[in-house]
Structure 1
Amino acid sequence: MSGHKMLSSGSKLWTSGRSSWISRLHNGVTGRGKACSTKVCIVGSGPAGFYTAQHLIKARPDVEVDIYERLPVPFGLVRFGVAPDHPEVKNVINTFTQTAKHSRCSFFGNVNVGKDVSVAELQEAYHAVVLSYGAEGNRSMGVPGEDLAGVYAAKDFVGWYNGLPSCRELSPDLSCETAVILGQGNVALDVARVLLSPIDFLKNTDISQPALEALAGSQVRRVLVVGRRGPTQVACTIKEFREMVKLPNTRPEMMAADFEGVTEAVKDLPRPRKRLTELMLKTALETPGEKEQERRDEASHIWGFRFFRSPVEILADPENSRTAGIRLAVNRLEGSGEGARAVLTGEVEDVTCGLVISSIGYKSLPIDPSVPFDSRKAIVPNNMGRIQQAAGLYCSGWLKTGPTGVIATTMNNSFDTARSVVEDMDSGTLDASSAKPGSQSISALLEKRGVMPVTFSDWEKIDSVETRRGEASGKPREKLLTVEEMLQEARK
């Protein structure tokens, strides 16, 4: 998600404002008291970062929290990961804004921890450092052909339609008829829905303008959502599946053979899984009522789940230049329920398609050589958020757990990390007795390095421009798509 490759020109824009910004900070305009306080730094301003900050501020009146973010804009995956047609999920931004405006919280955007400032330097300046920077890497499929044109990671595709600066140049070719999405979680269904949604439906969302224009000219008429296991292991939730079933101008296309034995298994499933499986069975096997049949007959777009399939190879066109299809291994299951394993049968099948989107998971990346990192699990080894062999260092969110769950899951795990920090303060394990300079010393370091942070009030200028631009075209906002544009507006 880094916009820092593009920053050299942007940072010059603000040189003139730098001294006044630093003096403003030093003069305590942030509303902080001069009394000795416990200074905590949080790296990352997505849900994990903000929920950790929220809990710390509520739990201890002596805690001051500084949130550092690589981009000039806050909110992480709430801004760049939530589907544009799910505006209600973005309402948590209101809560995060309250936290950011608290007198004991400060936001520093446009600061790339690990490059502009090291974790060791943050540890010098703060009593505790919490890493909450999420999972920005892509899990590789590990199959031949995955580097062909027409193959994308879902994270990048989602970033493209949500206006993430680093995905601006993605420009996916949507001239094919069939798209295959690998993975059956909620992100996979978000992508399928965006590919198949009527353009009139999308143009009232905060989807990026280039994505809206590309989707308006899309030739994609059929989307297959492929999973290596069966219907009772599918990773999406019923809400997302129901949205697919009701999507205008689409009809489902399922394979009855994929559901053999599922009707008998349903009665033993836990309730949420049972409801989802029953809806899948109904969609796949039941003859619809007259009205629904009429709707399906008129639909020009098709979507369907394909179970018991794993990618073996992305197939190239005759020129070997781009995707022409995908070879899928046919699996069978060993065991049952959540623990069932997909085992190869030796059969394969080829599907003709011009677009393959891999939605098999995000993964965290190491931020700094000084921080322990488990590259196999792609997490920072921790115990309740306490980073192992690193006193005063903590983690929350997907960096702590891996990329699982929804925003509420992240909230709970972030609260747990904040509780660990507070417990360590209370017990004396975390020594908060000596004064620490916090943002004063870090801002001086950043100034020396030519980095100008974006404050929360600077972000509000960006926010105001985006919402104003959106209103002009009937959208909630029209996002700025480059770091340079963001920085220009922040410094006006």
Structure 2
Amino acid sequence: MLRIAVVGSGPSGVYTAQALVQQGAVPGVTVDVLDRLPCPYGLVRYGVAPDHEKIKSLQGNLRAAMEHPAITFFGNVPVGDDPRGLPPRRLLELYHAVVYCVGAAADRRLGVPGEDLAGSFSATEFVSWYSAHPDAAPDGFVLGARSAVVIGVGNVAVDVARVLARGAGELHGTDVPHAALSALAASRVTDIHMVGRRGPSQAKFTTKELRELGDLSGAETLVRAQEAALDPAWDDPAGLPAVGRRNVEVLRGWAGRPPGGRPRRIHLRFFLRPAALLGGDDGAVRAVRFERTAPDGRGGVVGTGEFEEVEAQLVLRSVGYRGVPIAGLPFDADLGVVPHAAGRVLREGVPSPGEYVAGWIKRGPTGVIGTNRSCAKETVTSLLADAGALAARRPGPVEDAHAVLRAAGREPVEWPGWLAIEAAEAALGQGLGRGPVKIPDWEGLLSAARSRS
């Protein structure tokens, strides 16, 4: 029998727990899933855009996995250097093995002057706000800007541009917190510039996400044909991988068409890299200075020395994520991951008995939600191959482990507490004439969890 802790309840954590209890190779496996937040599902709850209801419905599959009788959820239990959290060495005293599935929580920075001006935010901050993450800034966003710049051309950049461009009426039926919905309803944004340093064929968004920009009822998507044509594959994308080819075909269909008079415009810009954010006398951002780039013939770009300023009172930076070190675990600062071999944590190049990783903290911020399933399977295969050695370890009784976990959080949230949060969000939405509406703050979440009795 093995008692295993999985740290993190996003897709990688849930898939890891599911693989452990369904594998059948070792009878009697039990899994405790620990999360710093009182709510499970990670980025499916707090990262998927509210208007992507099909992807958000994945929560139903994750719920089914978490309700397996051999899996126990403990929310509001931080791990690492949090003063009320559990260090990795303590977890190894409580469990035969620990699998860390903590994602990549830090944003990459631009590294340009003015990046920290008022009005400049990471895209993650904006996503956290409209997703009701309890760590989001309590004062939220006041969308008084007329022109917004989104730096980056991945799916997250498309999400934030689309949410900015949508009317509040289109988001009324989603779980957007009510304060964010009100702010979006009062938004003065008319122009959204989504900017990439390379060309259309190298953009990181998927075609499905891209096409959604063309389906917005209150916004039109504009592409500068002369600018996009700097891409060598623009005229003939046949040799590109499937996603790149379809992206170019969609963009060519939009290129050069004149504005149609809709209230908002999304400008897709290419071959521009940020050089500086420029501030006004009030210390807030007023524009972004970009340097024009050109293909270098080797898949990259070079600066041309030509510059352009784009007006912006709001800048959202979406240039990638990085893993965050966990106190007590080794960390590769260059790659932003925990060093590992097939999921086994490496300390000074040697596998550390009982310590494993899965998800973005293992492989970096790559892939889609489904990628986490195969990633988890590899780690679980390694763990079960080590089962004999792990079983020889002697952690304390399971009752002691659960007592320690309950004591670690100020108020640990178990599965009935999470179900009470769901019920409270359904009631909140009903009172507002909407479907379920997320509770956006720690106090509200924990209060709802307490109401389970």
Which interval holds the TM-score relative to the shorter structure?
A: over 0.9
Deviations 1:98-143 (A, max 9, x none): 2221111000001011132111111111111100011111111111
Deviation at 1:446, TM superposition (A): 4.4
- Are positions 1:375 and 2:333 aligned together? yes
Amino acid at match of 1:452: E
CA RMSD across the alignment: 1.7
* Range 58-67 or range 78-87, more displaced: 58-67
Deviation at 1:421, TM superposition (A): 1.3
Paired position in structure 2 for 1:118: 87
Q: 1-side partners of 2:306 and 2:235: how far apart?
A: 26
- For the 8 Å contact 1:333–1:342, the answer to whether it is kept is yes
Q: 1-side partners of 2:434 and 2:79: how far apart?
A: 33
Normalised TM-score (structure 2): 0.93
Deviations 1:222-271 (A, max 9, x none): 11111111011000001111000111121222111223243444011122
Deviation at 1:87, TM superposition (A): 1.2
- Are positions 1:93 and 2:59 aligned together? yes
| Structure 1 residues 398 and 447, CA gap change in structure 2 (3 angstroms) | closer
| Structure 1 residues 438 and 97, CA gap change in structure 2 (3 angstroms) | farther
| Structure 1 residues 335 and 410, CA gap change in structure 2 (3 angstroms) | farther
Deviations 1:306-354 (A, max 9, x none): 11111111100123x1010011111112235xxx112111111111110
Mapping of 1:318-397 within 5 angstroms?
Answer: 318-319=281-282, 321-336=283-298, 340-368=299-327, 370-389=328-347, 390-397=352-359
Paired position in structure 2 for 1:55: 19
Match among 404, 410, 435 for residue 476 of structure 1: 435
DSSP-derived class of the 2:141 partner? coil
Amino acid at match of 1:372: P
Deviation at 1:209, TM superposition (A): 1.0
Amino acid at match of 1:217: A
Amino acid at match of 2:213: M
- For the 8 Å contact 2:168–2:182, the answer to whether it is kept is no
* Range 52-61 or range 448-457, more displaced: 448-457
Paired position in structure 2 for 1:10: none
| Structure 1 residues 170 and 359, CA gap change in structure 2 (3 angstroms) | farther
DSSP-derived class of the 2:353 partner? coil
Deviations 1:356-384 (A, max 9, x none): 0000112211111x211011211111122
Higher share of residues assigned helix: 1
Match among 66, 75, 83 for residue 109 of structure 1: 75
Amino acid at match of 1:45: S
DSSP-derived class of the 1:391 partner? strand
> Percent of aligned positions with the same letter in both sequences?
38
- For the 8 Å contact 2:219–2:264, the answer to whether it is kept is yes
Deviations 1:15-52 (A, max 9, x none): xxxxxxxxxxxxxxxxxxxxxx2011000111110011
Q: 1-side partners of 2:86 and 2:154: how far apart?
A: 36
DSSP-derived class of the 1:297 partner? coil
Paired position in structure 1 for 2:110: 141
| Structure 1 residues 456 and 342, CA gap change in structure 2 (3 angstroms) | same
Q: 1-side partners of 2:441 and 2:398: how far apart?
A: 26
- For the 8 Å contact 2:76–2:409, the answer to whether it is kept is no
DSSP-derived class of the 1:371 partner? coil
Paired position in structure 2 for 1:13: none
Amino acid at match of 1:334: D
Amino acid at match of 1:432: A
Amino acid at match of 1:252: T
Q: 2-side partners of 1:186 and 1:135: how far apart?
A: 16
- For the 8 Å contact 1:231–1:258, the answer to whether it is kept is no
Deviation at 1:412, TM superposition (A): 2.0
Paired position in structure 1 for 2:413: 454
Q: 1-side partners of 2:361 and 2:379: how far apart?
A: 12
Paired position in structure 1 for 2:386: 424
- For the 8 Å contact 2:131–2:176, the answer to whether it is kept is yes
Paired position in structure 1 for 2:151: 182
Paired position in structure 2 for 1:84: 50
Amino acid at match of 2:77: V
| Structure 1 residues 95 and 450, CA gap change in structure 2 (3 angstroms) | closer
- Are positions 1:316 and 2:249 aligned together? no
- Are positions 1:275 and 2:246 aligned together? yes
Q: 1-side partners of 2:375 and 2:446: how far apart?
A: 32
Mapping of 1:157-236 within 5 angstroms?
Answer: 157-236=126-205
Deviation at 1:447, TM superposition (A): 5.2
Amino acid at match of 2:427: R
Paired position in structure 2 for 1:301: 264
Deviation at 1:62, TM superposition (A): 2.2
